Structure 1
Amino acid sequence: MAIRYVHTNCIARDWRALAAFYVRLFDCKPVPPERDLSGDWLDAATGVKDSHITGVHLRLPGHGDTGPTLEIFAYDAVTDRPDVAANTPGFAHIAFLVDDVAAMAEEVLAAGGSAVGELASRDVPGVGRLEFRYMRDPEGNMVELLCWK
């Protein structure tokens, strides 16, 4: 059986605004077409009655035209979720390798994101010096900014 990683899904309250954040800050590229999905087949697959999803796939940077995507979708009806911390079980964050963690953190803040923690760095034996910081996108999803030196 051939296996290939394809995408990670993120449910947004405002998929257009969240997609614009990732396009502007992290050089993600929209992969047409925009999605507008509904019907019995979707209800059956999601377990959500009368589901209606709109959104877009964004090609993640650094992997070419066939690389994985970040699927940003919005349902007409959403539920609230508790805040996710770095130690919350489940998928916790998306990570981007950047040239300057501090500068990118400032861009995230200027674009409506927020900080989770402080800038940290550490020498990792046999690997190099890691600098990283956890941030949140405008909808509260955690984003790790990292740089190896």
Structure 2
Amino acid sequence: MFRYAHTNMIARDHKKLIAFYKEVFHCRSIGETRDLRGEWLDRLTGLSGAHIVGEHLCLPGYGEDHPTLEIFSYDHMEESDPKINRCGLAHLAFEVDDVEETLKRVLENGGGQIGELVTAEYPGGKRAVFVYASDCEGNILELQSWS
């Protein structure tokens, strides 16, 4: 069997970031909290004394069993500045009814805006509204709406 299971985000403050995704994007708690440590986790992560806490949130538009957004914090973490054009995971994209209203909620909940809100025309008469934003910890988001 193959199926997409989750995307993991490491947060400075997992409780604050979990609250952000619940408030802005309607992610839901499904009772999958974590408080992990032990020799098996040290071997898995390659870290000595690793300790992880956090929660899996059900993404909007999906049932209770997957995929999830896994938001964790480690006791000890490395800092970096995410950039829109860096190699690796670039952003999380959410299709929303109203990009401007969702961007407003992002900003009200401690997030930010990257670049401008734009409208793009696609073949076949499709039209999309896009904006890049960031969550309350600086992770990059794409908000999009199609008509």
Tell me what 2:140 maps to.
142
- Equivalent position of 2:84 in the other structure: 86
Once residues 19 and 31 of structure 1 are traced to their aligned partners in structure 2, the CA distance between those partners, rounded to angstroms, is 12
AA in 1 matched with 2:24: L
Would the aligned equivalents of 2:30 and 2:64 in 1 still touch at CA under 8 Å? no
CA deviations on 1:50-88 (whole Å, 9 max, x unpaired) are 10000000000101222300000000011111x222211
Q: TM-score, normalised by structure 1?
A: 0.95
User: Corresponding residue for 1:46?
Assistant: 45
* TM-fit CA distance, 1:11: 0.2
Question: Quick one: which of 114, 121, 125 aligns to 1:123?
Answer: 121
Counterparts of residues 1-149 of structure 1 (less than 5 Å): 2-81=1-80, 83-126=81-124, 128-149=126-147
In 1, Cα distance between equivalents of 2:73 and 2:82: 19
**Structure 2 unaligned residues grouped into runs of 5+:** none
Aligned-residue identity in percent: 48
C-alpha root-mean-square deviation of aligned residues, in Å?
Answer: 1.0
Residues matched between the structures, number: 147
Q: Runs of 4+ in structure 1 displaced over 2 angstroms? A: none
Query: 3-state DSSP class of the match of 1:132?
Result: strand
SS in 2 for 1:66: coil
CA distance in 2 between partners of 1:128 and 1:3 (Å): 32
